């Protein structure tokens, strides 16, 4: 079991920045990747970014490339998402998740999820 707790969401104006954190506890070893997903109002949950546990390879959705940066601090078992140049369309509940299987994009392969943190970007 892995427990995930997100924090750092809030209300920000367009063009602003936020940094999300995701603290992991429990079985934090043996995971292939950690990722961020988001669910805009009335829409399905979608991939935002992911980072592999070994090697630290990063992957991003096209919509956030160049604006968001995913990082991790293994010593603190914490995942981060630095979000810059925020747009109103970034408004969503943001979730962190963990997967054990190889791959990063398929949401169905993520076994553990946090409760989410709301990010609202005003125009």
What is the rounded radius of gyration, in angstroms, for the C-alpha atoms of the chain? Answer: 13
Q: Rounded distance, CA 44 to CA 57, Å?
A: 26
Q: What is the pLDDT along the chain (123 residues), one digit of tens a residue?
A: 899 999 999 999 999 999 999 999 988 778 889 999 999 999 999 999 999 988 899 999 999 999 999 999 988 999 999 999 999 999 999 999 999 888 889 999 999 999 999 999 999
């Amino acid at each position: 079991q892995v427990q995930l707790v997100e924090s750092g969401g809030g209300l920000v104006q367009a063009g602003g920045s936020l940094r999300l954190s995701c603290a992991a506890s429990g079985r934090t070893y043996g995971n292939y990747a950690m990722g961020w997903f988001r669910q805009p109002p009335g829409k399905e949950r979608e991939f935002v970014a992911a980072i592999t546990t070994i090697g630290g390879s990063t992957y991003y959705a096209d919509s956030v490339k160049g604006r968001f940066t995913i990082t991790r601090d293994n010593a603190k078992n914490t995942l981060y998402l630095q979000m810059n140049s925020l747009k109103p369309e970034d408004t969503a509940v943001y979730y962190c998740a963990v997967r054990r299987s190889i791959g990063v994009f398929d949401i169905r392969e993520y076994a553990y999820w946090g409760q989410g943190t709301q990010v609202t970007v005003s125009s």
